Amino acid sequence: MSLEHFKNRNIGTQHYTTIDVGHTPVGAMQTFTQVAKRTVKGELFVGLWVTLREMINALFKGDMATVKYPFEKLPISPRYRAIHDMLRLLESGSYRCIGCGLCEKICISNCISMDTRYDENQRKEVSEYTINFGRCIFCGYCAEVCPELAIVHGPRYENASEQRAGFSLFEDMLTPIDKLNLQQEYDGFGAISPNADDNIKKTPLAY
Amino acid sequence: MEITLVETLPQAIHEVTAVGVIIKAVIILAVISAIAGFGTYIERKVLAFMQRRLGPMHVGPYGLLQIAADGIKLFTKEDIVPQNANKFIFMVAPIITAATAFIALSAVPVFPDFTIPEFVPLLGGVFVPSIASDINVGVLFVLGMMAAGLYGPLLAGMSQANKWGIIGSARTAIQFLSYEVVTGLSILAPIMLVGSLSFVDFNNAQSGGIGSWLIWQQPVAFVLFLIAGFAETNRTPFDLLEHEAEVVSGYATEYSGMRWGMFFIGEYANMITVAIIASVVFLGGYDADCTLGWLFIILKIAFFFFLMLWVRASWPHVRPDQLMWLCWKVLMPIAVVNIVITAIVMMV
Ligand code: SF4
Ligand code: SF4
């Protein structure tokens, strides 16, 4: 069953089939017949066979469902919203954030706090940027609003901590410059759609 | 003269002495407790495999030392006695379960008989029998003892001033009233065929290979006894006494630490006892003459033990009223009919 089937909430359009459960026995004679039938029919052995089959499959055919979590992990969806990442421009290696402050503004739990200043070239640079992950609800609005695809959600979901407040600094979230070639674009909230190129229209400059 | 010497010697050696019986008792106690502990491991593993899980994996190789970890936990846990409980009965009840389970084991054959080699100091030359006490009403004694073991849950549930405990003990009474008739009646037919209540006689009656096993003559009695045995050891599908989904933990709700552990050991010892009875009475038992016979009975017991776990993984459990319905309205009539047919066949 695919994701679309699960998400379909329009009751009546799905292909449900009713299982034939037989009819409830009426009267002593029918009850007795049912009991007698079930006694000799061996339905219970079908149940035994099912569990034995699962055991054989699990032991000898590697059909084990257990994931030994800290040692092996299931792949997560690329749209998963975990601890944020700050991406860099692939060409120049400088960070994408332009310090517009939109993410700080939109954050519904007020957990982004940032400050900007002019650098020596009179360009705006981020001087301070922290996210309090104790407050963040991972709604993804910051990633969606960001005009530069700078702040995105990353794949790190193991964020249990001993304190309620857990701050992350800009530098911590920024892709390390030596790992730039490994930087992944984010497919979730705020990402450009796959057919973005087709949708771009030329901005008329002259009237 | 030499010939008489050779003839009398084995008899002198094979005399059952008090020391031998005590050694046997210690062996049963030690080995069955160990197997009961190991049984919890096996149960968790088998259930896990049947649900495509791994089971205990991280304490020791393949989680084998999990038993030790559990043991340490049980022994060091605080022994809580609830405020309003009847303290004496509350503390004695688990001992009833564990003790009766082991007393029942004293009359069934466990392990081959052997003589301690001469070089062992003090005990050298002592003959250790396979049955701690080969009484001539063995079957009756074992079934009676296992039935008496249900006083454990009954008293435990009533003494602990807890509503789940009360429900648990009420269900114990129901279960007790239901299966006991079936156990007795189902095993009556094989007893009629063999004409004895001693396990040794049962074993000797079936010593002629697989064809002489009583299961071929008494398949109905075998199935009935197995069903009643599941109820007797309160295993799924008859684990009404402590079904977590309905009555928290039933009679064991207020128990902690080693007192709870004693219920557990009792339950596992009972499982082994039922497995032994089923193997000896219906599946040919042991062959005392060769070592392979003992290997076979261990395999048979292991099969029944596995069957109990297998059934637990496969089948849902029944309601108390369904259990009574099953035992009184279905199994008991079948057992009676079986006895009548057996009697007619024997007379003709
Ligand atoms: S995910 Fe939502 S709550 Fe978290 S920082 Fe972004 S906007 Fe704020
Ligand atoms: S991360 Fe994006 S939205 Fe936030 S300040 Fe930088 S560019 Fe603006």
Point out the least confidently predicted range of A39-53, B37-51, B181-195, B277-291.
Answer: B277-291
Query: Of B146, B100, B293, B142, which Cα lies nearest the Cα of B209?
Result: B293
Instruction: Give residue A92's pLDDT.
Output: 87
The answer to whether residue A112 is domain-embedded is yes
DSSP A87-100: -B-TTT-SB-----
Q: Output the average pLDDT for chain B.
A: 81
* Atom 7 in ligand 2: residue holding the nearest Cα: A97
Query: Of B56, B134, B151, which Cα lies nearest the Cα of B99?
Result: B151
Point out the least confidently predicted range of A181-185, B68-72, B211-215.
Answer: B211-215
Residue B2 has pLDDT above 80, yes or no: no
* 3-class secondary structure, B278: helix
Instruction: Give residue A3's pLDDT.
Output: 61
Instruction: Give residue A103's pLDDT.
Output: 92
Which chain B residues are within 8 Å of A65, Cβ to Cβ? Answer: 51-53
- Distance, in Å, from the CA atom of B211 to the CA atom of B216, rounded to the nearest integer, reads 8
Q: H or E stretch including B232?
A: helix B219-232
Q: Domain containing A92 — which CATH number?
A: 3.30.70.3270
Residue B288 has pLDDT above 70, yes or no: no
- pLDDT digit string (tens) for B230-240? 888 888 788 87
Q: Which residues contact A6 (CB under 8 A, 6 or more apart)?
A: none
Query: Of A96, A100, A186, A106, which Cα lies nearest the Cα of A141?
Result: A106
- pLDDT digit string (tens) for B133-169? 777 777 888 888 888 888 888 888 888 888 888 888 8
- Name the β-bridge partners of A124: A118
The answer to whether residue A150 is domain-embedded is yes
What is the DSSP-derived secondary structure letter of residue A95? B
The angle at the Cα of A128, spanning A127 to A134, to the nearest 5 degrees, equals 165
Q: Work out the average pLDDT over B48-56.
A: 88
Instruction: Give residue B4's pLDDT.
Output: 42
Residue B224 has pLDDT above 70, yes or no: yes
Instruction: Give residue B57's pLDDT.
Output: 85
Q: Output the average pLDDT for chain A.
A: 85
- pLDDT digit string (tens) for A74-114? 888 777 888 899 999 988 888 899 999 999 999 999 999 99
* 3-class secondary structure, B184: helix
Rg (CA), chain B: 21
- pLDDT digit string (tens) for B81-130? 888 888 888 888 888 888 888 888 888 877 666 677 666 666 666 677 76
Q: Work out the average pLDDT over B212-223.
A: 82
The answer to whether residue A185 is domain-embedded is yes
Instruction: Give residue B256's pLDDT.
Output: 84
Q: Work out the average pLDDT over B311-318.
A: 86
The answer to whether residue A156 is domain-embedded is yes
Residue A54 has pLDDT above 60, yes or no: yes
Instruction: Report the separation in Å between the CA atom of A178 and the middle of ligand 2, taken as the mean of its atom positions.
Output: 22
Instruction: Give residue A6's pLDDT.
Output: 61
Report how far Cα B45 is from the mean position of its chain's Cα atoms: 21
Question: What values do phi and psi take at B45, rounded to 5?
Answer: -65, -50
- Residue B270 has, within 13 A of its CA and on its CB side, a CA count of 29
> Is some CB atom of chain A closer than 8 A to the CB atom of B53?
yes
Instruction: Give residue B287's pLDDT.
Output: 67
Which positions 91-120 of A are in contact with B (Cβ < 8 Å)?
none
Which atom of ligand 1 lies nearest, measured to the CA of A135? 3
The answer to whether residue A88 is domain-embedded is yes
Instruction: Give residue A129's pLDDT.
Output: 92
Pick the most confident of A26-40, A91-105, B200-214. A91-105
**How many domains, in total, are found in chain A?**
1
The share of chain B scoring above pLDDT 70, in percent, equals 88
Mutate to test the interface with A, among B45, B50, B62, B328 (most CBs of A within 10 A): B50
Burial B103-129 (b: 16+ CB within 10 A, else e): bbbbbbbbbbbeebeeeeeeeeebbbb
Q: Which amino acid is at B87?
A: K
> Is some CB atom of chain A closer than 8 A to the CB atom of B310?
yes
Instruction: Give residue B40's pLDDT.
Output: 86
The answer to whether residue A96 is domain-embedded is yes
pTM of the model: 0.76
The share of chain B scoring above pLDDT 90, in percent, equals 1
What does each C-alpha distance from A41 to A45, A46, B229 come to in angstroms? 9, 10, 22
Which position has the higher pLDDT, B9 or B282?
A: B282
What is the DSSP-derived secondary structure letter of residue B304? H
Q: H or E stretch including A33?
A: helix A27-41
Residue A65 has pLDDT above 80, yes or no: yes
Q: Are B256 and B78 in contact (CB under 8 A)?
A: yes
Burial A73-99 (b: 16+ CB within 10 A, else e): eeeeeeeebebbbbbbeeeeeebbbbb
Q: Are B147 and B274 in contact (CB under 8 A)?
A: no
Instruction: Give residue B291's pLDDT.
Output: 63
Could you give the ipTM of this predicted complex? 0.74
Residue B3 has pLDDT above 60, yes or no: no
The answer to whether residue A162 is domain-embedded is yes
Q: H or E stretch including B258?
A: helix B257-282
Supply the range of the domain harboring residue A126.
84-194
Instruction: Give residue A131's pLDDT.
Output: 92
Q: Which amino acid is at B249?
A: S
* Atom 2 in ligand 2: residue holding the nearest Cα: A146
CB atoms within 10 A of CB B169: 23
The angle at the Cα of A104, spanning A103 to A109, to the nearest 5 degrees, equals 105
Cβ <8 Å between B46 and A52:
no
> Is some CB atom of chain B closer than 8 A to the CB atom of A66?
yes
**Ligand 1 pocket residue status of A139, Cβ below 6 Å:** yes
The answer to whether residue A170 is domain-embedded is yes
What is the DSSP-derived secondary structure letter of residue B120? S
Residue B10 has pLDDT above 60, yes or no: no
Omega before residue B129 within 30° of 0, cis: no
